[in-house]
């Protein structure tokens, strides 16, 4: 029995079992991360839809409730009006960055019109 526990075959088998266990944990964590990302994407899409339709952020909780009733995975967080405001600000800054980056890359011209009545 002692010979078996010290043999190369036993040691290799033990190492393989350890690597499989660590792979199982990594797969589990990856699954949880992808589920969290999917629910966050659903929240971002909901907020973007409200902003695009010029709806008030007070509607976000109601819209999320409706989507949960329709079996859409909305996660357990990011359901408040203040979070919706932060998400909308983040989306706006990302869109602004993308637009300005495109303008700079394509060397497009910009025209700014200033109305004296507003200053």
Evaluate if residue 97 carries a pLDDT over 90: yes
Evaluate if residue 102 carries a pLDDT over 80: yes
Evaluate if residue 88 carries a pLDDT over 90: yes
The residue ranking higher by pLDDT, 20 or 37, is 37
Residues 6 or more apart whose CB falls under 8 angstroms from that of 60 comprise 46, 47, 50, 79, 80, 81, 84
Residues 6 or more apart whose CB falls under 8 angstroms from that of 64 comprise 43, 46, 74, 79
Distance CA 34, CA 82 (A): 24
pLDDT of residue 44: 92
State pTM to two decimals: 0.64
- Output the average pLDDT for the chain: 83
* Proportion of the chain above pLDDT 70, given as a percent: 80
């Amino acid at each position: 029995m002692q010979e078996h526990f010290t043999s190369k075959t036993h040691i290799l088998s033990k190492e393989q079992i350890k690597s499989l266990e660590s792979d199982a944990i990594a797969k589990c964590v990856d699954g949880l991360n992808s589920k969290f990302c999917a629910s966050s994407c659903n929240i971002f899409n909901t907020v973007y839809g409200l902003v695009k339709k010029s709806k008030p952020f007070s509607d976000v909780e109601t819209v999320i409730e409706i989507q949960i009733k329709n079996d859409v995975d909305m996660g357990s967080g990011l359901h408040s009006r203040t979070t919706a405001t932060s998400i909308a600000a983040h989306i706006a800054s990302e869109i602004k960055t993308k637009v300005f980056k495109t303008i700079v890359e394509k060397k497009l011209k910009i025209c700014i019109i200033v109305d004296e009545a507003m200053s």
